[in-house]
Structure 1
Amino acid sequence: MNFFLIESPLQYLNALEAKYYFNIPSDEAKLIVFRGVSEDNIQQIKESVSESEWQDIEYILSSERKIRKYALKNHFRNILKETSIKKVFIGDYRSYLMRHFANISDSEDVIMLDDGRSSVDIHKMIFERVDIRNRNSNLRRILNNLAGLKDQSIKDISLFTVYDSDHNNNNKLHRNNYDYLRKSLKEKPVSDTVLFIGNCFTELNLMSEEDYLKSMRKISEFYEGKRIMYVPHRREKTEKLNNLTGLNALDLQRYNIPLELALSKSDAIPGYIASFYTSAIDNIEKIIGSDVELTAFRPNLDLFDQKIRGTAEEAYNYYSMNHNIRVINI
C-alpha cells in the first residue's frame, strides 16, 4: 500500500499529481487527511476528492493535541501492521505526526510533496541536514519524546516539487509538471477575463489593509476596461472583501476547491491571471503558463512586514527569471 498524508487543499492537489506521476493504482493508494489549521481545509479537501481515486480515505479531525499524539501513535502502528508498505508521501514535513508515520513505516521511499512557497525553505533545511525539530520549542521536543514519537528528520527523503534547487545534495528530486491537470486544460478556450488571486497578508498582519486596498486600486486601474474576478484566499475577512468589491469592475469569485483544480473544471481559462506572490502562480505557470498572461504585481517591499520582505523579494526574483511570468511594479 502507498500512503498519502495531507492537511491542505494544495497538498491534496500535489498528492493526486504524485499518484499519476508514479503510476500508483487506486487500489494501492490510501489517503489520510489531517485537520490542519482549520475545518475549512477539511471542507475544501472533501469537495476536491474523488473517492474512485483512492482505495481508502481517512479523515483525522481531532484538534486536541493529547488525543492526536497518543491515540494516533497507536492508530498508525495498527495501520502499518495490517499491510506491506511501499511509498509514503507527506504533505507537510513540519508535521511531527507525519514524520512519525514515515519514520515508523520503515518505507525506503518517503517523498515530500509541495505545500506552497514555504516548501523552498524546507528543502533548504533538508539539503543542509538541519534537524527539523529545531523549529520546535524545548517543551514540545520533550513532550513528543515522552509520547514516544519518532519525529526526527527523515533520512533519504525524496522531493516531488515544482521548484528548482541549486543546493548540492544526495536527495532524489522528481519534477512535478502538473501533467495530470495539464491534460484536462489542454483543449479549453481562453477568455478575456482577468482572474486575480487574493492574499491574506492583511489577516496575518503582514501588510496593512489600507496598503492592500491601495495596491488593488492600482491593479484595477492597470486592467481598466476589463472585468476582474477576485478569488479570495480562504482566510480573507469579509470586511476587507466588501471594501474590495467597491473598486471598479471587480467581482468576487469564490471556489471551494483549489484554484488549479477549479480551472480544470471550468468552461474556459481566464486569459489574464495575476496576484502579488503566491504558490498558485508557480503552479499555474507549470500547467498553462504559455497559454495565458501571468502577472506578479510587485508593491514597494516596505509595505510588507519586515519578517517576510526577504521571502517576497526571493519570490519576485524567481518570477523575473521566468519568461512566462511578468513582474509589474506598482
Structure 2
Amino acid sequence: MVLFLAESPLQVISCYELFKQKFADERVLLVVKYSGERKKKTHDYQLKKTVEALDWPECKEVSFLCRIKQFSWAKKRIIKYKIIKACEGHANVVCMGDFKSEWMHDLKIKLLPESVYLTDDGVGVIEAKKKYIDKGFLHRNKKSGWLSGDHYVQPIIFSSFVRSSGDGSSVHNDYRALRAESRNKEVDVGIVFYFGAKYSEAGIMSLEHELELISKAKLYFEERGKKIKYIPHRADTPSKLELIESQLNIPVNPLGLPAELYLLKLGYLPWGIAGAFTSALLSLDKLFDFESVVSFEVPSAVLRAESSRAISNIYNEYRQAGIDVVGLDFNKHDRI
C-alpha cells in the first residue's frame, strides 16, 4: 500500500509523477485535503480540477474545516482514523506533499511506513531540505515542534529542485510521465507567459517594487520583439491585477488550472516563459521545450530580510538547472 498525501495542485501533480514512475503496479491511495475556507475557494477549485484531470485509481477527498470551530479537532481525528482504516492500519510507503504539515506527519507515524517520500515540488522543498532534513529534524508534532532521532524515517526527496543522489536520499523529478502525454505543439513566437506570484501580498516585497519588476520584464522582452502575458497566481489580489492591466498595459490571463495542466491541454505553446522565483519555471521547463526560460533576479535590497537567503538559494538552483537568470538594477529605473 502506497499512501499519497496532498493539499495543493502542484503537490498532486508531483505525487502523480511519483506514482507513475515508481508505484504504477502497487495499490495506491491519494488523500487530498481541501481548505474549505471561503477565502481559499479558488485554491480548492484548482485542486479539485487537478485531481479530476489525472487518472488516480483511488482517491479520498477530505476537509478538516468544521462549522463549529471547537469541534474541528474531533473531525480531524475521525478523518485520520478513516484514512488509517482505508490503509488497513499500515502503509509500506507514505508520500508527503508538504514537509511542514502536522497532519501528514501524524499519519506517517501511525502507519509505520518502511519508506517516506517528500513530493513537494515547490520552492519550499529547498528550505525543508536545508533547514530540517539535512539537520536531522525528521518529524513534527503540535506539542513538541520539530524532532530528531534515529527512529524517524528520513524522507526521500522527489523534486525537480534536486538531483538524484548516489545514496538514494533524493530523486530528480524530470516529469517524464506527464511529458510523455504532451504532444508536439505549434509555438506562438511572439508571446511570453510571465508567471506572477503573491510577492507583495505575502510581504516579500512592496507592491511598488513588484510592479517595477513586472515592468522591467515587459521591457526586456519588448527589446527582443516579444509581448508578455501576465499569468496570475491564485492569491494575486484583484487590485494588483488591475494595476498590471491599467498602468503597465499588460494583459492578464488567468488559467483556471495549474500551469502544468493548462499547457498540456492548450493547443499551442508560448515562445517562452518567465518570472522571478516561482516554482512554475522549473516544472514547466522539464515538461516542455520552450525557446526561452528566464528568471528575473530581484536585488536583495528590495526583499524582506528574512526571505533573502531562501530566495538566493532558489536562484542558485535555477542556474544549476540551466535557466537564464537575468539580474535587475532597481537603482536605475523609470518610475511607473
Instruction: Please confirm whether the aligned pair reaches a TM-score higher than 0.5, indicating the same fold.
Output: yes
Correspondence list, 1:135-146, <5 A: 140-141=142-143
Q: Does 2:161 correspond to 1:163?
A: yes
1:87 corresponds to which of 82, 88, 93: 93
- What is the CA–CA distance in structure 2 between the aligned matches of 1:234 and 1:51, rounded to whole Å? 18
Q: Does 2:65 correspond to 1:70?
A: no
- What is the CA–CA distance in structure 1 between the aligned matches of 2:51 and 2:200, rounded to whole Å? 30
- Is the alpha carbon distance of 1:104 and 1:171 closer, same or farther for their aligned partners in structure 2, counting shifts above 3 Å? farther
Q: Does 2:315 correspond to 1:321?
A: no
Task: Note the C-alpha offset of 1:131.
Answer: 5.3
Aligned partners of 1:28 and 1:54 also within 8 Å? no
Task: Note the C-alpha offset of 1:259.
Answer: 0.6
- Is the alpha carbon distance of 1:217 and 1:276 closer, same or farther for their aligned partners in structure 2, counting shifts above 3 Å? same
Give the aligned residue type for 2:76: L
Q: Which consecutive residues of structure 2, in runs of 5 or more, have no partner in the other structure?
A: 330-336
Task: Note the C-alpha offset of 1:78.
Answer: 4.0
2:115 corresponds to which of 95, 109, 112: 109
- What is the CA–CA distance in structure 2 between the aligned matches of 1:72 and 1:3, rounded to whole Å? 18
Q: TM-score, normalised by structure 1?
A: 0.85
- Is the alpha carbon distance of 1:113 and 1:246 closer, same or farther for their aligned partners in structure 2, counting shifts above 3 Å? same
- What is the CA–CA distance in structure 2 between the aligned matches of 1:66 and 1:122, rounded to whole Å? 31
> After the TM superposition, which segments of 4 or more aligned residues of structure 1 sit over 6 Å from their partners?
none
Q: TM-score, normalised by structure 2?
A: 0.83
Aligned partners of 1:111 and 1:159 also within 8 Å? yes
- What is the CA–CA distance in structure 2 between the aligned matches of 1:156 and 1:221, rounded to whole Å? 46
- Is the alpha carbon distance of 1:116 and 1:79 closer, same or farther for their aligned partners in structure 2, counting shifts above 3 Å? closer
Task: Note the C-alpha offset of 1:184.
Answer: 2.8
- What is the CA–CA distance in structure 2 between the aligned matches of 1:154 and 1:85, rounded to whole Å? 15
- What is the CA–CA distance in structure 1 between the aligned matches of 2:327 and 2:270, rounded to whole Å? 19
1:43 corresponds to which of 42, 45, 62: 45
- Using the TM superposition, name which of 82-91 and 267-276 deviates more: 82-91
Correspondence list, 1:167-246, <5 A: 172-192=169-189, 193-224=191-222, 225-246=225-246
Secondary structure of 2:251's aligned partner: strand
- What is the CA–CA distance in structure 2 between the aligned matches of 1:176 and 1:301, rounded to whole Å? 29
Secondary structure of 2:246's aligned partner: coil
- What is the CA–CA distance in structure 2 between the aligned matches of 1:293 and 1:284, rounded to whole Å? 11
Q: Report what 2:21 is aligned to.
A: 21
Give the aligned residue type for 1:215: L
Task: Note the C-alpha offset of 1:325.
Answer: 2.8
Give the aligned residue type for 2:312: E
- What is the CA–CA distance in structure 2 between the aligned matches of 1:52 and 1:316, rounded to whole Å? 30
1:57 corresponds to which of 59, 66, 71: 59
- Using the TM superposition, name which of 79-88 and 250-259 deviates more: 79-88
Q: Report what 1:2 is aligned to.
A: 2
- What is the CA–CA distance in structure 2 between the aligned matches of 1:185 and 1:111, rounded to whole Å? 26
Give the aligned residue type for 2:205: M
Q: Report what 1:147 is aligned to.
A: none
Task: Note the C-alpha offset of 1:187.
Answer: 1.2
Secondary structure of 1:262's aligned partner: helix
Aligned partners of 2:115 and 2:153 also within 8 Å? no
- Is the alpha carbon distance of 1:186 and 1:22 closer, same or farther for their aligned partners in structure 2, counting shifts above 3 Å? same
Q: Report what 1:273 is aligned to.
A: 273
Give per-residue Cα distances to partners, 1:171-214, cap 9 Å, x unaligned.
Answer: 63222110122123341222221100001111111111111112
- What is the CA–CA distance in structure 1 between the aligned matches of 2:134 and 2:83, rounded to whole Å? 30
- What is the CA–CA distance in structure 2 between the aligned matches of 1:164 and 1:182, rounded to whole Å? 18
Q: Report what 2:307 is aligned to.
A: 308
Give the aligned residue type for 2:20: Y
- Coordinate RMSD, CA, aligned: 2.8
Q: Does 2:133 correspond to 1:126?
A: yes
Give per-residue Cα distances to partners, 1:269-294, cap 9 Å, x unaligned.
Answer: 11110001111112122223x53300
- Is the alpha carbon distance of 1:217 and 1:156 closer, same or farther for their aligned partners in structure 2, counting shifts above 3 Å? closer
Q: Report what 2:334 is aligned to.
A: none
Task: Note the C-alpha offset of 1:258.
Answer: 0.9
Task: Note the C-alpha offset of 1:250.
Answer: 1.6
Aligned partners of 1:157 and 1:171 also within 8 Å? no
- Is the alpha carbon distance of 1:123 and 1:12 closer, same or farther for their aligned partners in structure 2, counting shifts above 3 Å? same
- What is the CA–CA distance in structure 1 between the aligned matches of 2:42 and 2:242, rounded to whole Å? 20
Percent same amino acid at aligned positions? 23
- Is the alpha carbon distance of 1:15 and 1:242 closer, same or farther for their aligned partners in structure 2, counting shifts above 3 Å? same
Aligned partners of 1:220 and 1:247 also within 8 Å? no
Q: Which consecutive residues of structure 1, in runs of 5 or more, have no partner in the other structure?
A: 145-151
Task: Note the C-alpha offset of 1:310.
Answer: 1.2
- What is the CA–CA distance in structure 2 between the aligned matches of 1:11 and 1:314, rounded to whole Å? 21
Give the aligned residue type for 1:28: R
